[in-house]
Chain A
Amino acid sequence: MSQKRKLLVHIDALYRSALYLTKNENSADDLVQETYLKAFKSLQDDKEIRNVKAWLFRILMNTFINKYRKDKREPSLVDFDSVEAFHESIQEEVVAPSILDGESVLETLVDDDIKMALKALPDDFRMVILLSTVEGFSYKEISKIVNCPVGTVMSRIYRGRKMLKEKLAGYAQKYGFK
């Protein structure tokens, strides 16, 4: 198998992340193409790449941040005022069990609810959820991919999943769950 083909086996994984990041099929196409063109260019340097998938995702995330966030003047960074301290949030959950804990609530939600909830997350949180929950990268790998400390990755995963549950709980209420 040629080197290019070896990289292209990850095209589905890269595309689905690109689609959820850009929320637009054309932009996802562009992002994946750009990622591969950069990757192929790097291959010419004969550098040894140990973790090909993580390396490709790093290129994808960097390209997304540099290109798409610049285009949008970085609007997707988390609004400081809407996010309380990480520590406080753990305490909150103790007293506020989620509606999703109820019987058959999760089963009632349709895939579109999950897609909508994911897409509604701020970029930083959506990124780490895609990388951890969907692609199964370790926290250490994610920290290298998104270029931030492991502690930040853990915090974003925690907050991201909490936000996701809150959004899904909102959808569940529409189905009559209380």
Chain B
Amino acid sequence: MNCNDVRKYLYAFLDDELDVEKNIEVLGHSNICCGCGRRMEKERLLQKRVRETVCEVKAPAYLEQMILKRTEEKPNFFISVVKKLMSERRLVSLAGIAAAIIMTVYFFAIPGNLKKDDFLYLAESKYHDYMMMPQLDLDIRSQDQEVIVEYLRKQTNSSIVLPEIRDNAKLIGAAMSEINGVKVSQVFYMHDGTPVSLMIICKPDSGSEDSKNVDFSGMKEILVDEKVVYYDDKGFCGHCKIMGWKEFGNEYVVVSKLNSDEMIKILKKA
């Protein structure tokens, strides 16, 4: 193990997250390398200072009493009425109305918002694997577009036409995941040493035949109603962000992509 390796494992070592073997290697190196040993000591000291400074804060004495008092409070009038309603025969009709509201909200309002978070986590997770390893965990590795398209067709029951990409980008493979029963495929390209992914999300209700036709062939940018859509200009950790978001008749959603404007940079102009 050399100084660079120790630097890489420094925090994991200090946080006691390394396995025994790596732990011994880091210790061994820092014993013989003054620079690394000193850096480690400084880092340990800094963490200790942070810990001690934050731990000086104590909860005010009244807070515990306040919490206990609030737990003993009687429910307010509104809650009492709701409870009364729920305990009587109206329960069945109320449950029916509630279910209808939930279904409406689920299908017309909530899915996009909830899934955006899930998809971002997924995108982020793959991207971080690449940052940490650095290696992409792909289910299929191929530069052949037809091979990837066929693989996606089998996995998602969707006929997918991938976008045309510029010569300085290359297809490297695809990975499949599932979030709450929704299949998500990530098609990965490499551009300027950076992985770029196009996420294709398919609803779980697909039949045995090709039920969808997802066509990216003319795509320059992600468009919704002929306007370029940027969902957000920031990501969960700074490495990933959703570039665009589009729903097609509530059947599938397209999300693109992670790092800066890479997805747009690699697309050929239609």
Contact = CB atoms under 8 A, between A and B. Distances in A.
Interface of A: 4, 8, 11-12, 14-16, 19-20, 29, 32-33, 36-37, 40, 77-80, 82-83, 85-87, 90, 93-94, 100-101, 106, 109, 111, 114-115, 118, 124, 129-130, 132-134, 138-139, 147-149, 151-152, 154-159, 161, 164-165, 168
A40 B64 CA distance: 13
A148 B236 contact: yes
Contact of A151 (B8, B53, B125, B235): B125
A15 B63 contact: yes
Interface in B123-149: 124-125, 128-129, 131-132, 134
6 contacts: A15-B59, A79-B234, A80-B233, A83-B238, A148-B125, A151-B131
B176 to A, nearest CB: 17
Interface in B10-36: 11-12, 15-17
A135 B267 CA distance: 46
A148 B132 contact: no
Interface stretch (B65-73, B95-103, B179-187): B65-73
B263 to A, nearest CB: 14
Interface stretch (B37-45, B76-84, B197-205, B249-257): B37-45
Interface string B186-201: 0000000000000000
Nearest to A11: B59
A129 B7 CA distance: 18
